[in-house]
């Protein structure tokens, strides 16, 4: 397993990060109903991940259902005593709890301070290694969010801070505020990025390179779309996430993306690998990537994905994947590309 710097920090994390969104069996009130795995399987996956060299786990307060995933991880820490072997990341921003919702979501100081204490209790730990804002909050001034996060770092409850699902302009605004007001800076951006979702190439990746942040791609297999088990002319197989989330399958199912899938399958066949391995390995070649977040609902899925860390894409195969998945530029990017011959 390769280890990389966690963005602009000095901490080292595995090139693959265990995403835990599927840990726990949520009921019908949750969008994760019938998609997660039970506690016993979750424990086994975490055990196997550490054995494979994965030292980076990512979760969020809303995963599973109202803190369920964090509680499972906390039980595992308590049972196994392996907290110090894990670089632990979690997030807050979205609605938690039942009843009046006025301060149960967002990135206000009030919400963040409550959310951290709740996560620490559920996770049965004294600190969170990487605390991320799950999405920018349009209603809360960014300096309020940053001051709360800065205080948490000074208190030792949080070691590093990160952004997730931020627009590029807001991310840059945040970094500039941190610089001018001498506040803790984000070290990473967690965002959706894959062979069929490369929008970050336009603004985010250049910003990350400019400010030295690391990218933590989520949904690297596009919900399973890049696994190779979906066919353009056949209904989705039962049991997969996209068989339940048909709107996402429709979003991914463009002619462009089916062409990407076909090239991924060709590359996989030539290298004796799976489409999933190839898709993950491609991400590990991309600029600014610190660690790729993948999920697993079984030990078999975990083992298959871990193989990607050892797969080295030859330059020619990487070029083919870059080319087939490249975004079609529109204004103003096409205008600039025509003049400067690049974007």
Q: Report phi then psi at 92, rounded to 5.
A: -140, 155
Instruction: Quote the radius of gyration of the chain (alpha carbons, Å).
Output: 20
Which residues, 6+ apart, have CB-to-CB distance to 306 below 8 Å? Answer: 16, 49, 52, 54
Q: Are strands 3-5 and 12-14 parallel, antiparallel or unpaired?
A: antiparallel
Residues 6+ apart with CB under 8 A from 201: 327
Catalytic residue (choose from 63, 131, 160, 193): 63
Under a CB-based contact definition with an 8 Å cutoff, are residues 174 and 184 in contact? no
> Is the CB of residue 20 less than 8 Å from the CB of residue 7?
no
182-204 b/e (C-beta count within 10 Å ≥ 16 → b): ebbbbbbbbbebbbbbbebbeeb
| Residue 63 bears catalytic tag | yes
Q: Checking phi first, is residue 320 left (phi over 0); if not, alpha (psi -120 to 50) or beta? A: alpha
d(CA 343, CA 334): 8
DSSP 223: G
Residues noted as catalytic: 63
């Amino acid at each position: 397993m390769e280890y990389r710097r966690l963005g602009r920090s000095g901490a080292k994390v595995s090139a693959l990060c265990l995403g835990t969104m599927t840990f726990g069996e949520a009921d019908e009130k949750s969008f994760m109903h019938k998609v997660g795995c039970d506690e016993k399987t979750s424990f086994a996956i975490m055990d196997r991940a550490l054995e494979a060299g994965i030292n980076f786990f990512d979760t969020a307060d809303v995963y599973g259902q109202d803190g369920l995933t964090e509680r499972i991880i906390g039980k595992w820490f308590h049972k196994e005593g392996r907290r110090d072997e894990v670089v632990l990341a979690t997030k807050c921003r979205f609605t938690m709890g039942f009843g009046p919702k006025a301060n149960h979501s967002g990135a206000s100081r009030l919400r963040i301070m409550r959310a951290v204490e709740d996560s620490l209790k559920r996770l049965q730990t004294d600190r969170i290694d990487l605390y991320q804002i799950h999405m920018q909050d349009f209603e809360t001034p960014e300096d309020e969010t940053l001051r709360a996060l800065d205080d948490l770092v000074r208190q030792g409850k949080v070691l590093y801070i990160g952004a997730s699902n931020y627009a590029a302009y807001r991310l840059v605004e945040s970094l500039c505020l941190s610089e001018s007001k001498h506040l803790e800076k984000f070290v990473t951006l967690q965002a959706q990025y894959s062979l069929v979702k490369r929008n970050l190439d336009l603004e985010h990746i250049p910003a990350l390179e400019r400010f030295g942040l690391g990218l933590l791609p989520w949904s690297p297999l596009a919900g399973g779309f890049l696994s190779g088990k979906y066919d353009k002319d056949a209904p989705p197989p039962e049991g997969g996430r996209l068989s339940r989330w048909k709107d996402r399958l429709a979003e991914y199912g463009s002619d462009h993306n089916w062409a990407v899938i076909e090239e991924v399958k060709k590359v996989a066949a030539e290298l004796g690998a799976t489409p999933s391995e190839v898709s993950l390995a491609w991400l590990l070649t991309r600029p600014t990537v610190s660690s790729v977040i993948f999920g697993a609902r079984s030990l078999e899925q975990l083992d298959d994905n871990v193989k990607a860390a050892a797969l080295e894409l030859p330059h020619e195969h990487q070029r083919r994947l870059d080319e087939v998945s490249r975004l079609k530029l529109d204004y103003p990017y096409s205008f600039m590309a025509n003049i400067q011959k690049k974007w």
